Amino acid sequence: MSWLLPKKANLLFLTFSFFAFGCASSGATTSVIADTNIVETETEGDKQVQRFDLNGDGAADMEKVFRASALPSADGSVPQPKSQKDLLEKRMDLDYNGTFDVHSYYDQGDLARERIDLDFDGKPDVENIFKGGKLAERRMAPGFDGKYSVWKFFNDKGALYKKARDTDANSRPDEWEYYKDQKLIRVGFDRDGDGEPEYFEDIKD
Ligand SMILES: [Ca+2]
Ligand SMILES: [Ca+2]
Ligand SMILES: [Ca+2]
Ligand SMILES: [Ca+2]
């Protein structure tokens, strides 16, 4: 996991260590943010966007996109507080440079997917996919070049059961590792380039 600690991202690591350990829960970072940080609320089509200024410099560095089902009335009355269930997307600019570094997508209030740029170069380095609010798959770009080359798969107990790797830089996995009780038990290789393993080796104790 050492690659998750790029040079300039110590603060980021602190903030987002909960991602790294696979226990991100929707709303964890938003509960501490008071509504007074909202700089503007805007309706875009069938969506409502709330913008927040987290560091007080007057520029928004977090956006929340809500389903606009319960829109405030057209007479300009104060927007209703939206419920977590209506949250569709959250974007965060962690280094306050005007570019969002974390994109989180929600399904019925549960975190469904998140994309994180760990070194703030504008290219995503980690993507997490959740099922039922639990981490199911993690894609990683260890070179911070925006190219995913490692895929990890987790069962519903949060344990790693499969890992795939792209070793020839064609963006498709060609080596697989299979785990049982955290132990590597089998490896598989794609030798004919069809994207599926057909050559396997069992790992003996
Ligand atoms: Ca700001
Ligand atoms: Ca940024
Ligand atoms: Ca990056
Ligand atoms: Ca490959």
DSSP characters for 136-187? EEEEE-TTSSS---EEEEE-TTS-EEEEEE-SSSSSS--EEEEEETTEEEEE
Range of the domain at 22: 2-158
Confidence of residue 46 (pLDDT cuts 50, 70, 90): confident
Whether residue 173 is contained in a domain is answered as no
Whether residue 170 is contained in a domain is answered as no
The residue ranking higher by pLDDT, 83 or 2, is: 83
For the chain, the farthest-separated pair of C-alpha atoms sits apart, in whole angstroms, at 72
Whether residue 184 is contained in a domain is answered as no
- The bound ligand whose nearest atom lies closest to the alpha carbon of 124 is 3
Question: Distance, CA 40 to ligand 1 centroid (Å)?
Answer: 12
Which of 142, 70, 143, 133 minimizes the C-alpha distance to 105? 133
Contact 90, 61 (CB under 8 A): no
Residues with CB under 5 A from ligand 2 (ion): 93, 95, 97, 99, 101
Amino acid 103: pLDDT: 98
Whether residue 133 is contained in a domain is answered as yes
Question: Distance, CA 197 to ligand 4 centroid (Å)?
Answer: 11
Amino acid 81: pLDDT: 58
The residue ranking higher by pLDDT, 28 or 80, is: 80
Which of 106, 107, 129 minimizes the C-alpha distance to 116? 129
Question: Distance, CA 174 to ligand 4 centroid (Å)?
Answer: 5
Whether residue 164 is contained in a domain is answered as no
pLDDT of 136 above 50: yes
Amino acid 79: pLDDT: 53
Residues with CB under 5 A from ligand 4 (ion): 166, 168, 170, 172, 174
Whether residue 183 is contained in a domain is answered as no
Percent of the chain with pLDDT over 70: 76
pTM for this structure? 0.75
Average pLDDT over residues 160-186: 95
pLDDT of 20 above 80: no
Whether residue 198 is contained in a domain is answered as no
Amino acid 8: pLDDT: 45
Separation of alpha carbons 79 and 40, rounded Å: 10
Which of 111, 65, 103 minimizes the C-alpha distance to 86? 65
Whether residue 16 is contained in a domain is answered as yes
Question: Distance, CA 140 to ligand 4 centroid (Å)?
Answer: 14
- pLDDT single digits (tens) 49-95: 999 998 888 889 999 999 886 555 555 555 555 688 899 999 999 99
The residue ranking higher by pLDDT, 106 or 204, is: 106
Cβ neighbourhood burial of 102 (10 Å; 0-12, 13-18, 19+): buried
Average pLDDT over residues 163-189: 95
- The bound ligand whose nearest atom lies closest to the alpha carbon of 94 is 2
Amino acid 160: pLDDT: 97
- pLDDT single digits (tens) 106-129: 998 899 999 999 999 999 999 999
- pLDDT single digits (tens) 48-57: 999 999 888 8
Place of tokens 């509504």: 35
Question: Distance, CA 117 to ligand 3 centroid (Å)?
Answer: 4
The residue ranking higher by pLDDT, 56 or 6, is: 56
DSSP string covering 34-49: -GGGEEEEEEETTEEE
Question: Distance, CA 58 to ligand 3 centroid (Å)?
Answer: 26
Which of 106, 109, 134, 118 minimizes the C-alpha distance to 15? 118
- The bound ligand whose nearest atom lies closest to the alpha carbon of 166 is 4
Domain count, the chain: 1
